[in-house]
Structure 1
Amino acid sequence: MPYPVGAAPQQGFAVGQAMKKLEFGVSDIPASFQLERYAGCANWGAPEWWRALSLRYPFEAWSYLTPEELAEDEDNPDLLEIVRGNVLGFMERPLPVVEGELRPFPADTLSKPIRDLTGADYYEGLFNLHSGWYDKPSTLALRAIHRAGMMDFEAIQPEQEGERAFAELSNTPAWRIHREADAPAEKFGIEVNLGATDEFLVKEFKRWLKRIRKDAGIPQIPKEFDASHFADWHEDRLLPYLDLTMWARSHGGAFNLSALGYVLFPDEALRDAKMREVEPRIRRTIAPKARAIISLEVISTLNRQVWVKA
């Protein structure tokens, strides 16, 4: 049974001494993983894909923490075991059973794609300045304060250093700062000057949208996911890829491409001539597609698609 429904990864884990990243091979594939168990994905529709991805979402996020960081979480000292246990559970039952009517996180996330910024958004920024996850931007912010002459920092000399810090802060999008701190980056704030025509603003927004989707790796969201999308996800083995990579990260490493090729595409990988084609496919196509379908944007679209029609 997955971690309690409605749970979401939180910031503030204690940062431990990271060990050297391990490389896993075919012999390290957990016994719980059997590719045949994912065959049923071929018959899934939006409700099944939504449930499978929603329940995996928090564990995908947690798995990017090192095992040491997971083990040192002050709020939940059993977090490492919980993550590892749930990932094995996903392998044994790719479509977990959910008891009751509760909707898993992030069911209601991004229900309103556009909203006004509030004072809470600025408060969050002040809070993050005191978080160890944001060491670099908070240091730049302090240097930028010195540039403005608002505070005297004897250690920051000369004045040009503050100028450079301010320039770096100004040229770094907020979403990138959050991602560098391993925080979810589903918010993309913009400032709008209403002293322009509606036509010009809409045109500029479309340009921004095209650029930000490319820069941030955000997939183009269709009006509705259909059978053709789900067939592609199954044929590309995206769900078993997610489960294997989550398992590897939660154990402090990653599977090499050769191992993933053999286990995900056994018929192709067993032929040497095809092996050279499988590995680039995993790196260039399957990995980014898998990251896309586990994103808040895709899960939220599936959520609306499933529950609006319910």
Structure 2
Amino acid sequence: MAKIDRVEDLPEWFGLEKYRGCESFGAVEWLEQLDRRFWLLTGHPDFSAAKPDTEVDDWPRFQLDLWRAMTSQAAPSVRENPVASEGADDMRRALASPEGRPVKAVTVATLAMQRYRDGIAARDGGCCPRRLRRWEVIGDQLPAFDAYMDVAGMPISLDYYDPSRPHSAVIQVDMAATDAVLVAAFASWLKEQRMLETIDAASKRERLAYAKWHGYGLLPYLDLLIWAMETGNQIPHHVMAQAVGYCKGGDSFRKTVPKLADELMSSLAELEALAAIEAASEKLGA
């Protein structure tokens, strides 16, 4: 492992001029670029929750070698053009569709897929038998009274059994109520649900402050981080801060940028929801 003591010792492919343009990124553009890095990072043992299907000696070492082999093939295109847009317009259209929004209708297909996911998760021990019984009760025209009472009060939620994708609540909306009443009622319901659930502090933010991410040097930081993990090199915070153009120094950088990157690379769900809202708003304003 080599320690990088000077910006001049960073790899030849790196240069801040390649990141011009991201100061004007909206949520959709940030989502596209972070998604490119997300898939480069998630196979690494420090980020991946994957477990081997069979017993493998020294699994972390095996996974690291596999990750490095895959990254060496996929990373060069990102390093060559780190802000290339290969599908932002398609992503924007998909996010603007009803299916891509954080608030949307529950369809028959939605519930059918939930029943299917519950069945798969149950076989892997990730779904309790009681959750499966609710589908039996729903599908039975004359369920046994005790079976009905056992699950009748269970809220319906859409669960993906994926740590990076939080569950979605299913609610009823009385369309006879006025908009003002519905907004107030939803705010009250949401406050109650947030209090009942243990949520990450990042999820409590109303909006991700992506306007600051360019100044943080978020994308160049992630690209150098991936390179350092791939090669086994170590880049001290003060060198990293200088390299990515973070002006407040290494100590401030250490407290800000790595934490933000870890939160985003653990889940892009919050940014995706924000991008969907912005894409829908753009569509309405077009």
Compute the TM-score of the two structures, normalised by the length of structure 1: 0.52
| Structure 1, unaligned runs of 5 or more | 1-23, 73-77, 151-162
Q: Which residue of 1 aligns with 2:206?
A: 220
8 A contact 1:62–1:83 mirrored in 2: yes
Which whole-Å deviations, capped at 9, do the CAs of 1:229-261 have from their partners, x for residues lacking one?
A: 54x221111222343456678x599x98x7455
8 A contact 1:221–1:298 mirrored in 2: yes
| Alpha-carbon offset, residue 117 of structure 1 | 0.7
Which of 75, 91, 115 is 1:126 aligned to? 115
Where does 1:131-170 land on structure 2 (aligned, <5 Å)? 131=120, 135-138=124-127, 140=128, 142-143=129-130
2:172 maps to 1:192 = yes
SS at match of 1:94: coil
Structure with the larger RCO, 1 or 2 (CA within 8 Å, 6+ apart): 2
2:219 maps to 1:239 = yes
SS at match of 1:117: coil
Aligned length: 244
How far apart are the structure 1 equivalents of 2:51 and 2:72?
Answer: 10
8 A contact 1:50–1:299 mirrored in 2: yes
How far apart are the structure 1 equivalents of 2:170 and 2:104?
Answer: 11
Which whole-Å deviations, capped at 9, do the CAs of 1:139-174 have from their partners, x for residues lacking one?
A: x1x155679998xxxxxxxxxxxx8xx8xx959x95
Q: Which residue of 2 aligns with 1:40?
A: 20
Where does 1:261-272 land on structure 2 (aligned, <5 Å)? 262-266=239-243
8 A contact 1:38–1:240 mirrored in 2: no
With over 3 angstroms needed to count, the CA separation of the structure-2 counterparts of 1:303 and 1:283, relative to structure 1, is: same
How far apart are the structure 1 equivalents of 2:236 and 2:242?
Answer: 10
2:104 maps to 1:115 = yes
| Alpha-carbon offset, residue 63 of structure 1 | 3.6
2:35 maps to 1:60 = no
How far apart are the structure 2 equivalents of 1:106 and 1:194?
Answer: 30
| Structure 2, unaligned runs of 5 or more | 54-65, 138-149
Compute the TM-score of the two structures, normalised by the length of structure 2: 0.56
Identical-pair percentage: 12
